[in-house]
Amino acid sequence: MSREAASPNSKASVIILTGFLGSGKTTLLNRILTAEHGRRVAVIVNEFGEVGIDHHLLLSSNQEVVQMNNGCVCCTVRGDLVRSFFHLMEHREKFDTVVIETTGLAEPAPVAQSIYADERIRSQFTLAGVVTVVDAKYIAMRLEESGEACEQVAFADLIVLNKTDLSTPEKLDETEHLLTRLNKVAKIHRTKNSEMDLTAIFDINNVELSVKLDDH
C-alpha cells in the first residue's frame, strides 16, 4: 500500500491487539512500529516507555502523538481511549489503519465497544478485528486461571501462537486444539519472537460479535 494521504471520506480500520504480559504482544507491536511494511498505521499504546520511540519525532506539542521513522503514527492513552481517537482525528490524513494495544488484563469487548461510543468516532473508524497473542508454553495455564485470557481468545479473529520454540510439536498441536475449542473461527499463526507476515494483521477480517457469542 502506498503512503498517499488517506481519503477524508474513508473510515480507518481499527485492530485491537491483546495478550497477557510476556506473551510477545509488545514485541509484535514494536515490529509494527519499525518494520518497512509500507502501511499507513496509527498505533495507540499505553505508555511510550514500552516501545522504542524517539521523542523528538513529535507531531504535537502535548507529547501524546509521535511520528515513527517508518511512517507510523503512535499515540498514548492519556485518560480514556475516546480521547486518543480524538487526538488521532487531528492527523487523519497520515493513516488508514489503527492498532490499539490493550493492557494484559483487558478484555477486548469493552475496548471494541468504545469505538462506537461516540458518533464522531463511528463516522471515521470501523472495527476490523481482534488479534490475540498467546504464549505457547503457558496459555493452557492462563486459560485455567483467568477469565480475561478466555475472553481474549474467544473474541479473537487472529490468534498469534507465539514462543513455539519453547514447546514441542505434540504440545503445540494440543494447544491449538484447546484454542480452537474456545474459538472455532479465529485463524492461528504459529510464531517465535513474534516474527510473522504483518499482512495477516493488517488484512484481518472481523467476524461479527454475534457469531462469536453464538459459538460460546
CATH number for the domain harbouring residue 114 = 3.40.50.300
Bin 20: left if φ > 0, else alpha if -120 < ψ < 50, else beta: beta
C-beta atoms surrounding 105 within 10 Å: 13
Q: What is the predicted pLDDT for the residue at 102?
A: 83
pTM score of the predicted model? 0.83
Q: What is the predicted pLDDT for the residue at 79?
A: 58
Residue with cell 465497544: 113
Say how far residue 16 (Cα) sits from the centre of its chain: 4
Q: Which of the two residues, 111 and 13, has the higher pLDDT score?
A: 13
Q: Would you say residue 144 lies in a domain?
A: yes
Question: What share of the chain in percent tops pLDDT 70?
Answer: 75
Whole-angstrom distance, CA of residue 141 vs CA of residue 121: 37
C-beta atoms surrounding 109 within 10 Å: 16
Q: Would you say residue 131 lies in a domain?
A: yes
Q: What is the predicted pLDDT for the residue at 88?
A: 87
The whole domain housing 51 covers 12-215
Q: Would you say residue 112 lies in a domain?
A: yes
The pLDDT tens digits of the residues spanning 43-81 come to 887 655 555 554 434 344 344 566 666 666 777 665 578
Q: What is the mean pLDDT of residues 85-90?
A: 87
**DSSP string for the chain:** ---PPPPTTSPEEEEEEE--TTSSHHHHHHHHHHS-----EEEEES-GGGS---TTSBSSTTSSEEE-TTS-EEEE-SS-HHHHHHHHHTTGGG-SEEEEEPPTT--HHHHHHHHTSSHHHHHHEEEEEEEEEEETTTHHHHHHH-HHHHHHHHT-SEEEEE-GGGS-HHHHHHHHHHHHHH-SS-EEEE-STT---THHHHT--PPPHHHHHHH-
Whole-angstrom distance, CA of residue 169 vs CA of residue 190: 11
Q: Would you say residue 5 lies in a domain?
A: no
Q: What is the predicted pLDDT for the residue at 103?
A: 76
Alpha-carbon radius of gyration of the chain: 17
Q: Would you say residue 114 lies in a domain?
A: yes
Position 213 pLDDT exceeds 50: no
pLDDT band at 199 (very low <50, low <70, confident <90, very high): very high
The mean of the pLDDT values for the chain is: 81
Q: Specify the number of domains making up the chain.
A: 1
Q: Would you say residue 3 lies in a domain?
A: no
Q: What is the predicted pLDDT for the residue at 56?
A: 39
Residue 17, beta-bridge partner list? 101, 131
Q: Would you say residue 6 lies in a domain?
A: no
